[in-house]
A and B are shown apart, each in its own frame.
Chain A
Amino acid sequence: DSGVTQTPKHLITATGQRVTLRCSPRSGDLSVYWYQQSLDQGLQFLIQYYNGEERAKGNILERFSAQQFPDLHSELNLSSLELGDSALYFCASSVASLAGGSNEQFFGPGTRLTVL
């Protein structure tokens, strides 16, 4: 158990809909990262928040948005869903915000999103 929790574990929805994925980081971790893992693209970094502020942005679509709340939990909002958005979405947390070998990320169990 990494200490990172994600809900829900599974989500099935239809094209065009909007969903919200939730992540609670490990106690004491200020950084939250969101990743998408699909069969054809592998693991892709989406976005990072540090202590409530956006720190880095990756290959995140404009239809997707995220935020980190004062209690440090984070939500990833996916709207106007398409079939191609079906994937595993992982949240990770770390103590620090900087890139580098000493900044270990701890991953949650993921949310499996299926868009029909």
Chain B
Amino acid sequence: TQLLEQSPQFLSIQEGENLTVYCNSSSVFSSLQWYRQEPGEGPVLLVTVVTGGEVKKLKRLTFQFGDARKDSSLHITAAQPGDTGLYLCAVWDSNYQLIWGAGTKLIIKP
């Protein structure tokens, strides 16, 4: 069983549409990170959320950390082809390890 469950696994939508992807767990975390990985490249950190209920915005991307710090969501407004990629959530465990979700593969069609 994965510590972090990401949904959906795959999402293909048209340019201009809105979407939300999720990262869920039964565990409580002190912080949670979102990354985007493009084909042929390593993951790039988008945001770190720390406080329960926290909302962070990065241009058209809105990240929310659940009140209980067990889950998080990423909402993209007016998606663009440049948003295409694998979106990964990750959390630190007590052994200095970054634990990753399986990711949501997002394709934005022009």
What is A's interface to B at a CB cutoff of 8 Å? 2, 4, 33, 42-45, 48, 55-56, 58, 90, 92, 97-105, 107-110
Q: Shortest distance in angstroms between B39's beta carbon and chain A's nearest beta carbon?
A: 11
| Given A92-B42, A107-B42; A101-B33 close (CB under 8 Å) | yes
Q: Is B52 an interface residue (CB 8 A)?
A: no
Pick from B30, B48, B49, B102: contact of A42, CB under 8 Å: B102
B44 contacts A2, CB within 8 Å? yes
Q: Is B99 an interface residue (CB 8 A)?
A: yes
B30 contacts A100, CB within 8 Å? yes
Q: Is B94 an interface residue (CB 8 A)?
A: yes
B101 contacts A109, CB within 8 Å? no
B50 contacts A108, CB within 8 Å? no
Pick from B41, B92, B94, B96: contact of A55, CB under 8 Å: B96
| Given A42-B101, A43-B100; A99-B42 close (CB under 8 Å) | no
What is B's interface to A at a CB cutoff of 8 Å? 30-31, 33, 40-45, 48-50, 88, 90, 92-103
Q: Shortest distance in angstroms between A81's beta carbon and chain B's nearest beta carbon?
A: 22
Residues of A within 8 A of B40 (CB): 109-110
| Given A42-B101, A42-B102, A101-B30; A107-B96 close (CB under 8 Å) | no
Q: Compute how far the CA of A43 lies from the CA of B3 in the bound complex, rounded to whole angstroms.
A: 13
B42 contacts A109, CB within 8 Å? yes
Q: Compute how far the CA of A6 lies from the CA of B94 in the bound complex, rounded to whole angstroms.
A: 28
